[in-house]
A = this chain, B = another copy of it.
Amino acid sequence: MNTRLAVATHILTFLQTQAGQPATSELIASSVNTNPSLIRRLLSQLARAGLTVSQMGSGGGALLARPADRITLLDVYNAIDDKGEVFALHDQPNPQCPVGRYVNAVLKARIVEAEKALHDQLAQTSIADMAEDVVEQVRLGARTG
């Protein structure tokens, strides 16, 4: 896939570390090291999915819409990815050939299973977990420099 899941997760994890303080797209962008506009584009997707809320105007910014332990990577994945499909089928197999006629339907069933396994695993991690892991890394990093 692309890096959008990673950036979106970064955003949410960042918001969690802000302890309820609204974060501007510019502030988030400085952590992600990219353009504020790109952050806003992702934030609007996250807001549409109900994961964040944004406040316009001075003193505004983005906040998590609910506790971080109730936002999973699967939620993020679903918010970001339009179709939620890792694999695609090919367009026009030859229906005159038995394999061409049925292989897509057969494969589809297997792919759905595989993607379900992926989703289930993504659902095991919350943004709270992510933030805790980051804090732990900071603690470890502080000792070794």
A interface list, Cβ under 8 A from B: 1-3, 5-7, 9-10, 13-14, 17, 30-34, 73, 86-94, 97-107, 109-110, 113-118, 120-122, 124-125, 129-130, 133-135, 137-138, 141
* Of the residues B6, B103, B114, contact of A134 by C-beta under 8 Å: B103
Contact of A93 among B32, B92, B109 (CB under 8 A): B32
Closest 8 CB pairs of A and B: A102-B137, A117-B121, A114-B121, A31-B97, A3-B90, A106-B133, A117-B117, A118-B118
Chain copies in the assembled complex: 2
Chain B hits for A31, CB < 8 A: 93-94, 97, 99-100
A103 to chain B: which residues have CB within 8 Å? 9-10, 13-14, 130, 134
Q: Could you say which residues of chain B place their CB within 8 Å of the CB of A32?
A: 90, 93-94, 100
Point out the residues of chain B lying under 8 angstroms from A135, CB to CB. Answer: 98
Tell me, rounded to whole Å, the shortest Cβ–Cβ distance linking A56 to chain B. Answer: 24
Can you identify 29 A-B contacts, CB atoms within 8 angstroms?
A1-B1, A1-B86, A1-B87, A2-B88, A3-B90, A5-B87, A6-B87, A6-B89, A10-B90, A10-B93, A10-B107, A13-B99, A17-B98, A31-B93, A32-B94, A32-B100, A33-B91, A86-B86, A99-B134, A101-B137, A101-B138, A102-B137, A102-B141, A105-B137, A107-B130, A110-B122, A113-B121, A117-B121, A118-B118
